[in-house]
A and B are shown apart, each in its own frame.
Chain A
Amino acid sequence: MRIDVNAFLGAYPYRRVPGTAPDAVLRAMERVGIDEAWVTHLPGLFWQAPPEGNAWLYETTARERRLKPVPAVHPGLAGWEDVLGEAVDRGAPAVRCDPTYCGLDPAGAEMRVLTAACGAADVPLVMGVRLEDGRQRHPNDRAAELPAAAVRALIRSDDAVRLVVTHADRAFVEEVHFGSTPEEAARIWWDICCIWGPPEDHLETLLGTVGVGRFVFGTGQPLRIPDTSVAKLDLVELSDAQRSAIECDNVRAGLAG
């Protein structure tokens, strides 16, 4: 069983990306052996009101059991509590907010309120450090990357919240993990899509220092080819239990409702 906690559906505004439709994402999943993907409506992340993409997301994922909706929440918009409530009612495995794309202070009042609400609702909150490599972004794509300090601030701001942080690299993971108490760090999960493999061996290092239990399988598809995350795992020496933890069991044990 392999669960991708970091996937999207729909077009990207800054360049043409093939394979963004649901059937194409499903074909890519079949090609690399992904059984389930947590998906967010990609164009909506760039809208003034990201939750407006959620209706389509719910409708689409309702037709395909392998796709699980991760709806977007914008805590600066009135009614965001209803968006979160709907996610709970519909059994979404998590909600997503990328604060800098919403024009929000990533550790500001709105994000802290959302964090507390996610903790109270027992719904994990997904946040991306970035969607694309900062060196290649479109000149008009100027939202800042999520700062590590914001993740530290948010995990400290609520004792119950669980965060899934996507697209982080080794330095980011280390800064947050070792800048948190063990109890705080145990409520953060990291997707592996932007952590380097050999010869730098950042993933292998982190699995040894931070622990296998903190990592989950994610790809960033279709913006990134999903083959990358599978190849990373194939290049690390892991027991069957460790590999299963990253690919599925950590999600089931720590993030599933």
Chain B
Amino acid sequence: MLIDVHAHFYHDRTPRADWRERNASRLSAGAKIGITIHVASILGSWGRTSPTYFPSPADLPYGNDALLALQREHPDGIRGYVTVNPNYTAHARGEIVRCLRAGMIGIKLAASRRANDPLLDPICELAAEHGAPVLQHVWQHRRRDWPGQEASDAVELCALARRHPDVRFILAHIGGGGDWQHSLAALRAAANVYVDLSGSGADGGMLEGCVAAVGVERLLWGSDITMDTGWAKLRYLEHLLPPAELDLVRWKNAARIFPPGAFPSD
């Protein structure tokens, strides 16, 4: 069993003419790697009619519906995070309820608002109510604002996590850019924040650092948009961890933090 907690798909209303190929490539590579379940999100129109990290209320339902369709098409292989923009509280809450009822299993927050902003509280209240984890896009140690996103870092996510101790948060792509050591230092005491290992960064020492900082019980395997680095980290972990601990990272931790029945093994 192998659960990818950070996957993405595309649809026909994105800027990408090759969206079908990219979706097919993920599934094909996933089969080679041995991925059992892709837990995925679609960020609105991926920039076509609203910015990727600031998806509009008009774009979000289309993306979420496209993901629900993929979930129905691949009932044994795809699960969804409902993507919302916390600047539109009522819309976000409505979309969360709608999509969780339709079978999605988590909530995706991109970078439309800082993670420690009070506007995220109404979303986290719903996450607690439904037992759905929140995958938060994170820039590891944001030293300045970056164009195109209102990125959060681990310190801000941990502040949110302290306000909502009953919610499980996933810090996105520890290898996705920025200073991952800064994030790991912040996460040590945040028991309800899990580390998603995805991202193109595959630095020597990163995986050892993750294990040392939060323990294997809070590590989740993922790929994001570079499945090659995801697979490489998994291979590395096979040498770093005993089989029982490797299984925690491969799927058991994920099975524990997503709602009961989210995966076939439950």
Contacts and interface: CB of A to CB of B under 8 A. Distances in A.
A225 B22 contact: no
Interface in B210-257: 225-229, 231-233, 235-236, 239
Contacts of A19: 204
Contact of B202 (A16, A135, A139, A228): A228
A198 B181 contact: no
Contacts of A139: 143
Nearest to A135: B177
Contacts of B205: 15-18
B51 interface: no
A201 B25 contact: yes
A54 interface: no
B168 interface: no
B140 A136 contact: yes
A203 B229 CA distance: 13
A187 interface: no
Given A18-B205, A232-B228, A198 B200 contact: no
Given A197-B226, A198-B29, A199-B225, A230 B232 contact: yes
Interface string A161-200: 0000000000000000000000000000000001011111
B214 to A, nearest CB: 18
> Helix, strand, loop or mixed for chain B's interface?
helix
Interface string A215-245: 0000001111101101110110000000000
A133 interface: yes
B42 to A, nearest CB: 13
B150 interface: no
Interface in B187-204: 200-204
A235 B29 contact: yes
A142 interface: no
Contacts of B207: 225
A234 B177 contact: no
Interface residues of A, number: 33
A210 to B, nearest CB: 18
A139 B179 CA distance: 10
B227 A197 contact: yes
B180 interface: yes
B26 to A, nearest CB: 4
A227 B230 CA distance: 10
A199 B29 contact: yes
B32 interface: yes
Contacts of B23: 199
B236 A227 contact: yes
B225 A225 contact: no
A200 B226 contact: yes
A132 B181 CA distance: 14
A31 interface: yes
Contacts of A31: 239
B102 to A, nearest CB: 24
Given A224-B202, A225-B233, A235-B32, A200 B177 contact: no
Interface of A: 15-20, 31-32, 132-133, 135-136, 139, 194, 196-201, 203, 221-225, 227-228, 230-232, 234-235
List 5 tightest A-B contacts by C-beta distance, closest first. Answer: A197-B228, A198-B29, A135-B177, A227-B232, A228-B232
7 contacts: A133-B201, A196-B200, A198-B26, A199-B225, A200-B25, A230-B235, A235-B227
